Structure 1
Amino acid sequence: SAAVRGYRAPAGSRRTGAPATVPPVGIGAATVDVVADGAGWLRFSTEGSGDGRHRWQFVLRHKPSDGNRRPDVPVRTSRTDLDNGGTRYTAALGPSALDELGDGRWQVTMRSARSKTVHMKAGIRDTRALIDARADLVGRPPTGPVTWNLPYAQPNGRLMLRTVLREEHVECATVELGDGAITLRGVLCGGRRIEPGALFVVSRRGPHGKNFTVPVEVLGRHAFRAHVPVRRVVDHRLERWEDWDWWLQPDPHDRRKVRVCHLLEDFPDVKGAYAYPSLPLTGDGISDLAVIHPARPVWVRPYCSASGAMAMNVVDR
C-alpha cells in the first residue's frame, strides 16, 4: 500500500504571511560582488551588519612581490541602511585610479577606526565585459598607456585586484606551433609604431646572454607576425635547460626593445590557461660550450610566466 511504501499525501497550501527577514552577517563573513565594465570601471558591493559608529570603508592594500609595499588606497564608500538592520556598502573604482595603483596586485579590504582591517571574501565577479575589451584592444591597439583592472579570487577565496599600467608593451594575440615552427602574432601598444624592418628578438636568460633576431611581417602600424628562430636557439644552446625571453624591436634603427606579454584577459591565471605543447627539434650545429650535443630531440615550449611575460624554454631531456 501507499502507507507501507512511505507515501505521504501532498501538503496543503502554505500559510502566507510576512516574509522572513534574514539577519545581517558581520563584515568578516560577508562577500564582495564586483562588476567590471568595458570602460575600465569596477563596482563593488557588499552587505554587513549595521554600520553604527564603525564607518566601514573599502581600502585597497598593496601585495608587493619585491617587499616594497605602496601606501594603502582608500576608496570612497557609500552606505545604505537595509530593512534587516544591516548596511549595504558600495564603491566604484575608475580607470584614473590606476595612475595611483600602478602595475601590481592589491587586496580588497574593509577598514574601520574601531576594528582591524578585514581582507574581504570574493563573491560574484562579473568580468564578461573584459572579453570584448581585450578584442577591441587587439583589434585597435591604443597609442597611449594601457590600463587593465581585473578582480579575482585567491585559492583561499579572498578578493584581489590585478592592476596593469604599461606605458608600452606588446600584447601577444596568438601562438601557433606546427611543422617544426613557432609563429606568434602580436600588437604594439603605446606611442611608437612598427617600422619596416622591425625585429623579433629572443634573448637567453642568465650569465651567458645571447640574442637572436628575425624580421617580422608588418601587418599594420601596430600589428605584426613573427616566426620564432627555434632552430638557431637549439643549435646554440649552452645548457640542458634554458629560458629565452621574447621581445620586439619596433624600429631597426632604434635598439630599444619592448617585452612581449600576455596580460589582458578576464581571468588571472594566464600561465595555467595557456599551456602550450612542446616542439621537438634535433640540433644541427656544434657548440664548443654545449653540455651534451643531442642525439635525441630538444624540446622547445613557449609559455607565459606568472608576471605575464612571454618566453620559451629549451630542454634537452
Structure 2
Amino acid sequence: MTALAASHEASHTGDDHQASTAPRADCVADSAGGLTFDVTDPGETGPQGAAHLLLRRRDADPAEDCVRLPLSPSADGRLRAALPSTVELAEGRWNAYAQIAGGEPRRLMPGVNDLRALVDRAPSGSRGHIAVRIPYATKQGNLSVRSWLRAPHAEAGEIELADGAMTVHGRVYGTPLTGAAYAEAVRRAEPGHVHRVEVTSEGPEFTFAMRHTLLADSGPGPWDLWLLPAGESGPRVRLARLLDDVPDKKAIFTYPVARCETEHGVLEAGPYYTLDNDLSVRVREARSA
C-alpha cells in the first residue's frame, strides 16, 4: 500500500467547507465485491498530470492503510478507477480522495451509487473469506467506503421473534458446519459470562433459538452472538449481517422487544445490529408502554 499524507475527516473542517466544490464520484458495485468509481471534474491533469483515486482508512496512521488506484479517461470526460475484489481492503471505513499529479488530495463527494448487485448477494465462500465494500455518504456529505473482511463469516438472515425467544437463521462461509456446532451469547461487560445453545444445520445453513429470559436474568447490558461451527475445536465466528447494500444497519433494522420479569425488575430484550453490523441482543430497563 502507498503512503499518503491526508487529513482525518473528523479533525479537519476543511473537508466540510470544500464539499460544495469537491469532485463527485459515481460508484458501481459488482457481486464479487469489486467497485468502480467514475469521477467528474477532478481538476486539470496537464501533460504530466497522472491522476489517482485514493482510499485512506479512517483513524489509521498517515503512513499506513492507503490504497492508490489509477484514474484513466472514460466516457463523458470522466475518469475511472477500479477496485477489484482481489485487492484486499482491511475492515473499516475508508475516505475517498482524488489526487492530480501528486498535488493535494481532494475529498470526493458521492454521486450515484449503483448497489443492485449487492442485494441478496450469496458468495461461494470458496476463498475462505467474504469481502464486502459498500460506498456511502458521510454525515458531512463526503464519499467513504465501508469495508468488511471476514474469514470465516457467519451471515445472519431471518430473525423470528415469538413466545419470548428469538430464532436466528443464517449461513456460514469459509468453514464447514459440523454436528458439534453451537451458538453462544457473551455478556459484553463480562466476557466470561456465556450462554450456549444448540444449532441445527443443513449444509452451510444454520438455525438456533435463544430465550430472552436466559439473558435478561443477568440484568441490563448487551450480549454479543457467536457461532462455533465445529464446536470448541474450531473457529469462533461473530454473527453479522453484511451481504446486502446497507452500510449501517443499527438504525435501519429494528425488532420488537420481549418484556421479562426478573429479580432486577421488568426488563426488555431484543436483537439489534451494532455499528459494525454485528448481531447482538440488548437488555435494558423496560420503557413505558
Q: TM-score range by the shorter chain?
A: 0.7 to 0.9
Query: Structure 2: how far apart are the matches of 1:252 and 1:42?
Result: 36
- Check if 1:174 corresponds to 2:196: no
Equivalent residue number for residue 215 of structure 1: 198
Q: RCO greater where, 1 or 2, for CA within 8 Å and sep 6 or more? A: 2
Could you tell me which amino acid in structure 2 is paired with residue 92 of structure 1?
A: A
Alignment of 1:1-317 (within 5 A): 28-48=21-41, 49-52=43-46, 53-64=48-59, 67-68=60-61, 70-79=64-73, 87-98=77-88, 101-113=89-101, 115-132=103-120, 134=121, 136-137=122-123, 142=126, 144-190=128-174, 192-207=175-190, 209-218=192-201, 220-235=202-217, 237=218, 239=219, 241-254=220-233, 256-283=235-262, 293-294=263-264, 296-317=265-286
Q: Which residue of 2 aligns with 1:13?
A: none
Instruction: Please state how far the C-alpha of 1:172 moved relative to its aligned partner.
Output: 0.3
C-alpha deviation, 1:125, in angstroms: 0.6
Which position in structure 2 is the counterpart of 1:286? none
SS in 2 for 1:206: coil
Change in CA separation of 1:253 and 1:108 when aligned onto 2, cut-off 3 Å? closer
Higher deviation after alignment, 112-121 or 89-98 = 112-121
Question: 1:141: Cα distance to partner?
Answer: 5.2
Q: For 2:150 and 2:114, how far apart are their aligned partners in 1?
A: 24
Paired residues in the alignment total: 265
| AA matched with 1:297 | V
Q: 1:171 Cα shift?
A: 0.7
Greater shift after overlay, 254-263 or 164-173? 254-263
Q: 2:45, 2:101 within 8 Å by CA — same for their partners in 1?
A: no
Report the alpha carbon displacement of residue 267 of structure 1 after superposing the two structures with TM.
2.1
Give, in whole Å, the separation in 1 of the partners of 2:260 and 2:163.
Answer: 10
Q: Distance in 1 between matches of 2:114 and 2:191?
A: 45
- Unpaired runs of 5+ residues, structure 1, are 1-26, 284-292
Distance 1:152 1:36 in 2: 12
Q: 1:253 to 1:114 in 2, by over 3 A?
A: closer
Q: How far apart in 2 are the matches of 1:183 and 1:106? A: 34
**SS state at 2:180 partner:** coil
* CA deviation map 1:131-159 (0-9, x unaligned): 14x2x24xx65561111121111122211
C-alpha distance 225-114 of structure 1, shift in aligned 2 (>3 A): closer
1:25-55 Cα distance to aligned partner (Å, 9 max, x none): xx94321111112232211112225422543
Distance 2:126 2:259 in 1: 37
How far apart are 1:229 and its partner, in Å? 3.5
Q: Report if aligned partners of 2:164, 2:211 keep a CA contact under 8 Å in 1.
A: no
Gap regions ≥5 residues in structure 2: 1-19
What's the offset of the Cα at 1:197? 3.5
Assess, with a 3 A threshold, how the Cα gap between structure 1 residues 188 and 143 changes in structure 2: closer, same or farther: farther
- Partners in 1 of 2:222 and 2:274 — Cα distance? 11
Please report how far the alpha carbon of residue 80 of structure 1 lies from its aligned counterpart in structure 2 after TM superposition: 5.5
Post-superposition offset of 1:182: 0.7
TM-score (structure 2 length as normaliser): 0.83
2:71 aligned partner, one-letter code: T
Aligned to 1:3: none
SS of match in other structure, 1:282: strand
Could you tell me which amino acid in structure 2 is paired with residue 204 of structure 1?
R
* C-alpha deviation, 1:185, in angstroms: 0.6
Q: C-alpha distance in 2, partners of 1:74/1:160?
A: 14
What is the CA deviation profile of residues 220-273 of structure 1, one whole-angstrom value per residue up to 9, with x for unaligned ones?
2211111013222223x0x4x211110111123516421111122212121111
Larger Rg: 1
Amino acid at match of 2:35: L
Moved more, 273-282 or 299-308: 273-282
What is the alpha-carbon distance in structure 2 between the residues aligned to residue 62 and residue 124 of structure 1? 22
Provide the rounded CA distance (Å) in 1 between the counterparts of 2:232 and 2:78.
57
CA–CA distance in structure 1, aligned partners of residues 281 and 37 of structure 2: 38
TM-score, normalised via structure 1 length: 0.76
In structure 2, do the counterparts of structure 1 residues 68 and 247 end up closer, same or farther at CA, with 3 Å as the change threshold? farther
